[in-house]
Amino acid sequence: MQTAGQKKSTRLIWFVPIVFIVCGALANIVGDMVFICMIYGPHAYFDDGLRIAKHKPYTFSTGTVLSTNLDFLGWFIDAILWLGFVVLCTYGPKIISAKSRQFMLRRA
């Protein structure tokens, strides 16, 4: 027979792969933006429209290929952002719930 803690963990286990996939997609988009802004400046991304082509990794929308020295930096930015988004999506709701509960108890 399952205890209450085991039931809670099995109910939330479906949530983990979804969070990983959504955070991975979001980290890829934001990571590309951050990478271009770090290397070429924000004007290149926002004003000039420089993007990384999704169908050709390490190729910009202008057709130029990214140097192999910078490959690791792009991957590292994506990995750090993915990890940050996973932590934020996992613990963010808990923190917001606890803070709002404290706020409501103080007001009561």
What is the mean predicted confidence (pLDDT) over 36-59?
87
Per-residue pLDDT for 108 more than 80?
no
Rounded to whole angstroms, how far apart are CA atoms 65 and 79?
21
Q: For residue 44, what pLDDT band results from cuts at 50, 70 and 90? A: very high
Rounded (5°) CA angle 24-28-33: 150
Q: At what angle do helices 68-107 and 15-40 cross, to 10 degrees?
A: 120
Rounded to whole angstroms, how far apart are CA atoms 10 and 94?
18
Rounded to whole angstroms, how far apart are CA atoms 67 and 54?
17
Measured distance between the N- and C-terminal CA atoms of the chain, rounded to whole angstroms: 39
Looking at the whole model, is its pTM more than 0.85? no
Per-residue pLDDT for 6 more than 70?
no
Q: Which is higher by pLDDT, 51 or 67?
A: 51
Domain edges within the chain: 19-107
